[in-house]
Amino acid sequence: MKFNKTFWVIISVVVVALLAAAKWFGGGTEAVTVQMETAETRTIVERVSASGKIQPEVEVNITAEVSGQIIELPVKEGDQVSQGDLLVQINPDLYNAALNRAEAAANSARSNLASARAQKAQADAQFFATEKSWERTQTLFGQGVLSQADFDAAQANFRSAEATLISARETIRSAEFAISSAEASVQEARDNLSRTTLVAPQSGTVTALVKEIGESVQGNGFTAGEVVMKVSDLSVMEVDVEVNESDIVRVSMRDAAEIEVDAYLDETFEGEVTEIGNTALNAGINGFAMDQVTNFSVKVRLRSESYSAMLNDEDSANLSPFRPGMSAKVDILTRQAEGAISIPIQSVTTREKEVGDDEETELGVFILNNGIAQWNPVKTGIQDNRFIEIVSGLDASADVIVGPYQAVSRTLTNGDEVEVQEDEGTAEE
């Protein structure tokens, strides 16, 4: 039994060894099945994609500058208004009363000024007479005609008249200041009264109505008051999108854009970049972002010529088919390379190469050379959603290995035997 067991163990080892030898000497490793695509010259357009909301380029908040009750509201949401049209009337009674009080105070101040000027005229006359008397007294006292008592009395009268004149002058100045203050109060009261009437600062459409007739509003002439409504110019619309910080450096003013609006699935509209945010939207305290994702606001104007054919109603000739708040996807066309040698993005990968005693990561592609995968370093440029520009290192007619992904990105090595998949369909995107 022990002999038989040893015999079969030896037979098994021999069989395994023979199989291994047959595999080693009989044909090597199995060829890797790959997909191929030929490098071609194309026009590549680099894109920055973002999503956002449609809004009017010009939208004005109509805010209350004074407090009060709305007694007249002749417009409703969706109405078109012209510049200067009445939008809101706030109850002016309190402000009329304030104006009347201010005007009465101003009139009283003017009356006080007139009285002060009359008193000054009397003081001038009194001072003139006293001054002449004082001059005569000084002469007579010098001649020894008057006593010291008469001299002192005349001097006291002169100084009293002088003080009265000075007081009269100051009273006039005070009355003039009072008039200035009263007139400022009158102007303020007039301004507050005028602020009870809100008119359209521009022609447009009432896109939001926050308050209704009978409601009260809070306003302050020095700070922004409550929003009553919004008036927007719907003839010029834009998309406000958020662009990631890694992409914002590639966006420039006046870059063209392609816009898809969710409400019009089969349409693509044209646009251009009109504003690029200088500060991150979510910049936190002391400039540090509170979130790991940092985005910048970019505004893209919709070109009217790209949607003019959709406006069939003559009454809407100056408007657009879009409504504020609609969702849109924007592709900003940042750079373009015409006649560029290009290959599918998935064909570009990295491999380690030895540089002295160290290893460095090298960018390149695998090309087909007589059934062998040959590593070929390349330098890349811009890319779109499918293709990447090859700046150097590859000819336009080269056959490039594009798949499978696991082989291209990890397992395939220089010199591996490969065979092309029989069904050469389009490389997967």
Name the residue with tokens 């700046």: 391
Residue 109 has a pLDDT of: 87
For residue 43, what are the contacts with CB-CB under 8 A and spacing of at least 6?
336, 337, 338, 339, 340
Half-sphere exposure of residue 218: CA atoms within 13 angstroms, side-chain side:
3
Residue 158 has a pLDDT of: 82
How far apart CA 73 and CA 89 sit, in angstroms, is 7
Q: How far is the CA of 416 from the CAs of 35, 140, 238, 419, in angstroms? A: 14, 137, 54, 10
Q: At what angle do helices 148-194 and 93-142 cross, to 10 degrees?
A: 160
Residue 242 has a pLDDT of: 93
Sequential pLDDT tens for the chain (429 residues):
444 555 554 555 454 455 444 444 444 457 888 888 888 888 888 889 999 999 999 989 999 989 999 999 999 988 889 999 999 999 999 999 999 999 999 999 888 888 888 888 888 888 888 888 888 888 887 887 878 888 888 888 888 888 888 888 888 888 889 889 999 999 999 999 999 999 999 898 898 899 999 999 988 766 678 899 999 988 889 999 999 988 899 999 999 999 999 999 889 999 999 999 998 886 544 445 455 678 999 999 999 888 888 876 554 545 778 888 999 999 999 888 888 899 899 989 988 887 777 778 889 999 988 888 889 899 998 888 889 999 988 888 888 999 898 888 888 888 888 888 876 444 444
Retrieve residue 192's tokens: 């507050």
Residue 166 has a pLDDT of: 86
Q: What is the pTM of this model?
A: 0.64
How far apart CA 297 and CA 275 sit, in angstroms, is 8
Residue 370 has a pLDDT of: 86
Residue 197 has a pLDDT of: 93
Rounded to 5°, angle at Cα 193 from 188 and 197: 135
Q: Which amino acid is at 211?
A: K
Name the residue with tokens 């009194």: 126
Residue 313 has a pLDDT of: 58
- Superfamily name with CATH number, domain 50-60+234-336: Efflux pump adaptor protein, beta barrel domain (2.40.30.170)
Cβ 94 vs Cβ 101: under 8 Å: no
Architecture of domain 32-43+340-420: Beta Barrel (2.40)
